[in-house]
Amino acid sequence: MTRLTTGFHPDFDALSAHADRSDTEAARTKVSRHVSGCEKCRATVEEIRALGSAARQSVAPGVPAGMWTRIEQQLQKGEPMGGAMTQADREIGVDAAKENMPRPNASDRTAKSSLARRSLLGLAAFLAVISTVLVLDSREPLAAATPRRLTTDREAARPGEVITFHYRPIPALAGQRSLTIWMILPNRGMQRFDQALERGGVLRRVSGLEFTGTVAMPDSTPLAMFIVGDSTGDIIDRTELRANRLPSVVLSANSHGQPRLDAFVLALGGGRGSSDPATMTRWATQMHDLYPSAPETWILTALYARRSVIGDIVKLFESKERQYYGWHDRLEHRTGLSEETETMMATLGWELMDTARAEFWTTRLMHDHPESPSAPSLWIDRYRDVPDDSAALVLQAFEPIYTRPRQVQGRALERALMLAARSGDSALMQRWHLRTDPRNMSWVLGSELANIARDPVALAELRRRLQVALLEADSAEHAGPTLWGSARLFAWYDRQRVGTRLAALQLIDGDAKGAKAVLDSIAHDMAARPTCPMPETLRWRAEASRQLGLMADARADLAYVVVTGDWRRQVLSDSVPALLGPAYTKASWDSALAEANRLKQKCWADSRDARRRGGG
């Protein structure tokens, strides 16, 4: 519908069509022109869009208890299972199967909006959604509408206090006599999962499908999250994580049994954007009641505050801006502010595009809390829009900030990489590319090899990072129980990959013999397991063999790389005949390909069998 009124403003239907761009080109141009200059209509369009966001964010209840039992009973009565499709089955299934490609839902589409819109309207929409969804009374158990499998008798506990849990198992765990409750302690760092993980206690079966057990609240953590698995951690109930919901959380309590301020800060600050708004609102309300004068409370509770239902988004935005000015005036000359407060003030400043205040708080954070992991991101954020010819200067200034010994957030690295790309300086780009992930695949591609070899700084840094990564992989492989059965296998695989890259650097340094010995050892280690050789290892070994004049070995390895498909393009673009020189003949290459294919099929079959034997 693209009707326009003859008056000054487009009518509601025209704005509605404009909101999801279903109007015609001509009408769109006309309405767009009007909307861009009319605040009232712009607000209506945003309001219309926010209705959709609110509906998407709305939490519908989960499947009620006992549902599967009902279905199973029906199945036992002889309801249809396998066999030929009936017309009814076709109606529900086949039509849907016509379009097997995943459908981007409306929220995916909105994610494609522009940066400017994201920064201003994103916040407005966020507030609108929050305000719409959170109008529920905080005591109303919205999250309880989707019953959790793991429930507890308390939301806050003093260190050492005993917490009782009840658990309804997933089918994979239902057959166990006892289960383990695992604690995730975020204060130990979430970069490495096994570091944050601790065995909490045991759940014992009390009836057919109910387990219960107790756990003592750990010391020195603002909060603990709990999930259930078997005793080895091979099978874990990931229901809550799959539903994009917080797992069961218990906040640390003070001596009066009330949740501590730092617990609220971590829970609300870290959980922002969570799809469990009812829990967030409940915490925000409690925080406001318990710590009304803490600056962290002003900021966090405002983000989760109960507000009126969806309405004038611009007003909400303006109100947020006014609140921010107020906080700034009250905090500007106060000393001893926490890292969280200063980080939040800087972040909000950027979100509200209040550059002066954002810069003020970023500088304060860098000065008061130089080790804060958010500081580098906030610092570099302010230069995101500099002209291209200034990008290199910004990165030069960022270098000492980046190299300080602290954990640097991925966002800072992404921003730096973006600036490096804009600078047009390939060495700079290479350096930041390596820093974003020393384990990624692209650095070893032939075209980038020369760049690495030419840049001694990048080379040295890469070597250092790979050595750290090797130690990490080694310790992860030999760590205690982990939550994932495959965790050790991944750690082992990671070790082989990182080892391969260190050997590649050795090769670049000219030590072909040493590099080949290492790569032989890695390939041998792989052959001892029911897994396939890594094409990356064999690609580098082929290069080492080639340099050592072992052309038959080089040919076999190159053939394997080609038949696996990985890196095929690189090998082919490097041209096998050119790589092998006189050792290349069509017959010998074909025979090497056939042998490589046989090897590949065999190792695939072996690894499949091993997976089956190990229960998948």
**Subset of residues 393 to 432 that bind other proteins, contact rule: CB under 8 A:** none
Q: Are strands 156-157 and 248-252 parallel, antiparallel or unpaired?
A: parallel
Beta-carbon neighbour count of residue 465 at 10 Å?
17
Interaction with other proteins in 263-322: which residues (CB under 8 A)?
Answer: 266-267, 270-271, 273-276, 308-311
Question: Under the criterion CB under 8 A, does residue 109 sit at the interface with other proteins?
Answer: yes
Q: Find out whether 346 and 328 touch, Cβ atoms under 8 Å.
A: no
Per-residue tokens: 34:
């009007």
Number of residues that bind other proteins (CB under 8 A): 100
As a residue count, the chain comes to 616
Judged by CB under 8 A, which stretch of 100-108, 252-260, 324-332, 442-450 contacts other proteins? 100-108
The least CB distance from residue 348 to other proteins, in Å, is 19
Q: Give the neighbor-by-neighbor strand order of the sheet with 162-167.
A: 150-152, 162-167, 210-216, 197-207, 178-184, 223-229, 248-252, 156-157
Smallest distance from the beta carbon of 479 to other proteins, in angstroms?
A: 14
Residue 237 or 381: which CB sits closer to other proteins?
Answer: 237
The span from the CA of 516 to the CA of 522, in Å, is: 10
Query: 3-state SS string over 497-535?
Result: HHHHHHHHHHHHCCCHHHHHHHHHHHHHHHHCCCCCCCH
Region 493-552 residues binding other proteins, contact defined as CB under 8 A = 493
The residue range among 9-17, 390-398, 437-445, 458-466 that interacts with other proteins, by the rule CB under 8 A, is 9-17
Residue numbers 139-178 binding other proteins by CB under 8 A: 146, 170-172
C-beta of residue 425 within 8 angstroms of C-beta of residue 419 = no
Does 209 contact other proteins by CB under 8 A? Answer: no
- In the list 127, 130, 228, 246, the residue contacting other proteins (rule: CB under 8 A) is 246
Please tell me whether residue 63 binds other proteins under the rule CB under 8 A.
Answer: yes
- Closer residue to other proteins, CB minimum distance, 172 or 517: 172
Among 91-99, 367-375, 449-457, 588-596, which window interacts with other proteins (CB under 8 A)? 91-99
Is 93 a binding residue for other proteins by CB under 8 A? The answer is yes
Measured from the CB atom, is 86 or 255 closer to other proteins? 86
Choices 69-77, 153-161, 201-209, 450-458; region in contact with other proteins by CB under 8 A = 69-77
Q: Which is nearer to other proteins, 111 or 450 (CB)?
A: 111
Least distance (Å) between residue 197 CB and other proteins:
9
Enumerate the H helices of 197-335 as residue ranges: 239-242, 261-270, 277-290, 295-304, 313-331
Residue 135 vs 353, nearer CB to other proteins: 135
Question: Cα(319)–Cα(124) distance, rounded to whole angstroms?
Answer: 11
How many angstroms separate the first and last alpha carbons of the chain? 53
Give the nearer residue to other proteins in terms of CB position, either 252 or 451. Answer: 252
Contact stretch for other proteins (CB under 8 A) within 72-80, 351-359, 425-433, 526-534:
72-80
Contact 168, 207 (CB under 8 A): no
Q: How far is the CB of 308 from other proteins (least distance, A)?
A: 5
Shortest CB 51 distance to other proteins, Å: 5
Number of continuous H segments (helices) and E segments (strands) in the chain: 30, 8
Contact pick of 26, 96, 356, 578 for other proteins (by CB under 8 A): 96
Q: Is 87 in the site for other proteins (CB under 8 A)?
A: no
Residue 223 is inside which H or E element, if any?
A: strand 223-229
Assess 86 for contact with other proteins (CB under 8 A). Answer: yes
The site map against other proteins for 475-494 (x = CB under 8 A) is --------xx-x---x--x-
- Please say whether the beta carbons of 390 and 424 come within 8 A: no
How many C-beta neighbours within 10 Å does residue 524 have? 10
- Give least dist CB 378 to other proteins, A: 18
Choose which of 8, 25, 37, 92 interacts with other proteins (CB under 8 A). 92
Cβ of residue 95: shortest distance to other proteins, in angstroms?
A: 6
Pairing of strands 162-167, 223-229: unpaired
Across-strand partners of 227?
182
Q: Does 83 bind other proteins (CB under 8 A)?
A: yes
User: In the bound complex, what is the minimum distance in angstroms from residue 577's beta carbon to other proteins?
Assistant: 34
Shortest Å, Cβ 384 to other proteins: 21
Identify the bridge partners of residue 156 per DSSP, sorted by sequence position: 251
Please tell me whether residue 70 binds other proteins under the rule CB under 8 A. Answer: yes
x/- track of binding to other proteins for residues 19-58 (CB under 8 A): -x-x------------------------xx--xx-xxx-x
Q: For residue 497, give both structure tokens.
A: 């990959």
What single DSSP character describes residue 197?
A: E
Q: Which stretch binds other proteins (CB under 8 A): 131-139, 332-340, 434-442, 560-568?
A: 131-139
Query: What's 30-91 look like in SS3?
Result: HHHHHHHHCHHHHHHHHHHHHHHHHHHHCCCCCCCCCHHHHHHHHHHCCCCCCCCCCHHHHH
Range 206-211, long-range pairs (CB < 8 A, 24+ positions): 209/168, 209/169, 209/174, 210/166, 210/167, 210/168, 211/166, 211/167, 211/168, 211/169, 211/178, 211/179
Q: Any contact of residue 239 with other proteins (CB under 8 A)?
A: yes
Kindly provide the b/e burial profile for residues 557-568, where b requires at least 16 CB atoms within 10 angstroms of the residue's own CB.
Answer: bbbbbbbbebbe
CB of 516 to other proteins, least distance (A): 27
Q: Which is nearer to other proteins, 396 or 440 (CB)?
A: 440
Residue (of 118, 57, 106, 112) closest to 310 by Cα position: 57
Interface with other proteins (CB under 8 A), residue from 139, 242, 333, 586: 242
Q: Which is nearer to other proteins, 165 or 283 (CB)?
A: 283
Binding part of the chain for other proteins, among 101-109, 111-119, 549-557, 568-576 by CB under 8 A, reads 101-109
355 neighbors 330 (Cβ within 8 angstroms): no
Q: Identify which of residues 265 and 571 has a Cβ nearer to other proteins in the complex.
A: 265
Q: How far apart are CA 318 and CA 325, in angstroms?
A: 11
